[in-house]
Amino acid sequence: MLIPKPKENINTCFICGRKAVSVEHVFPKWLQRQYNLWDEQIVLPNGTSVQYRKLLVPSCKKCNNDIYGLLEKKVSSGNSSESDIWKWANKIHYALCYKDRFFEWDRKNPRYKIGDVFRQNDSLEKDRHFLHCVSGGFKTTPDPFGSVFKFNFDKKVAFAFAHLLQTSSISITLGKIGYIVFITDGQSLKKESGINQLFKNLPTPHKREDMLFFHAQCIEMMARHKLGQNIIMSNNRISRSGPTVVHKAEPPDEERFRAICKTLGLNWIDSEKLIT
């Protein structure tokens, strides 16, 4: 049974709505220690920056220690499945979106929060339901519900993180491994023949730039396709029903793709054509 939607304030757990007795680091402490992120800055959707260590959300003891503590151990030890990575990525994605509900869009003119101005297409409430998969009281079909792409590097690479609200996706590097996770796409990208073939054709071992460029290609493909999929929600399950339907398709937009690459810290020089 799902716990009722929590009130969005600093006194209630950002997941379950119980009384908050602690705070949850959006980026876990083990990750910040391992990659020296404690005092590093992350850019918010309004263009301002905040230190990683200051990205905190209210949490109850059960969610912070008992539930997400176990998930963090799996990820930090390298013993995580695709389903674990999807759940972990969804927690980061959701927590960042939740935090936007409290940050001012313009601190000099405190009228709107970031979450009021910059909203994702999907309801944040649906994303919250996905979090209950971690506690074992909620299931998804397929599992993981989103597309997870794993990248293997030949050596440890510098930490990189990107969060794209419009596609509910993140990319993150963890030493010699990297992941791109699309939270809510129902594995549409993973099952799309062009994207799947593109991923298989990437040179191995992968490079971080390969991963980010692939992320950009996925985002551009989603931007020019209006996709539809039937999702059935019950009190303990979210299920994808039937295949993804393409309602509208636009031709590749090189300028848009160039802008996406720039967002991810890449420069695209037309050396590689976009997939159609």
List pLDDT tens digits, range 99-126. 755 543 344 555 544 444 344 444 545 5
Which string of DSSP letters, residue by residue, matches 14-41? TTT-SBP-EEEESS-HHHHHHTT-TT-E
- Return the pLDDT at 43: 82
Mean pLDDT computed over 194-209:
92
Alpha helices in the chain (DSSP H): 29-34, 61, 68-77, 82-99, 114-117, 124-135, 188-191, 193-200, 208-223, 254-263
Average pLDDT score over the chain: 80
Question: How big is the chain, counted in residues?
Answer: 276
Residue 274: predicted pLDDT: 60
